[in-house]
Amino acid sequence: MKKAKVCISLKAGLLDAQGKTIKSALESLGFKGVREVRVGKYLEIDLDQSFAKPSLRREVERMCHKLLANPVIERYHITLDDNGR
């Protein structure tokens, strides 16, 4: 089995209200030195062995474009795990 890990986050410059809230919460819990927090989604996708390495990455990129991320406001980073790398 092959595993793809996808990290999706808001592009730089866009307001991240959830991140600001978490930053405030961390500060009120006494954590010092936090400059910024940005929140996004994390997905682990298990795929059949049948995909070859380059086509696997392309396929996951297509998934991101079509469903998982909004490429207008979000950026994503794909990591192929273990034997999928």
Q: Determine which residue in the list 11, 14, 31, 53 makes contact with a copy of itself, applying CB under 8 A.
A: 31
> Radius of gyration of the chain from Cα atoms?
16
Residue 4: how many other CB atoms lie within 10 Å: 22
For residues 13 and 73, what is the distance between their CA atoms, to the nearest angstrom?
Answer: 10
Q: Does 45 bind a copy of itself (CB under 8 A)?
A: yes
Q: How many residues bind a copy of itself (CB under 8 A)?
A: 36
Q: Does 35 bind a copy of itself (CB under 8 A)?
A: yes
Q: Determine which residue in the list 20, 57, 59, 75 makes contact with a copy of itself, applying CB under 8 A.
A: 59
For residues 82 and 85, what is the distance between their CA atoms, to the nearest angstrom?
Answer: 5
Smaller CB distance to a copy of itself: residue 50 or 72?
50
Q: Does 15 bind a copy of itself (CB under 8 A)?
A: no
Q: Does 50 bind a copy of itself (CB under 8 A)?
A: yes
For residues 85 and 2, what is the distance between their CA atoms, to the nearest angstrom?
Answer: 9
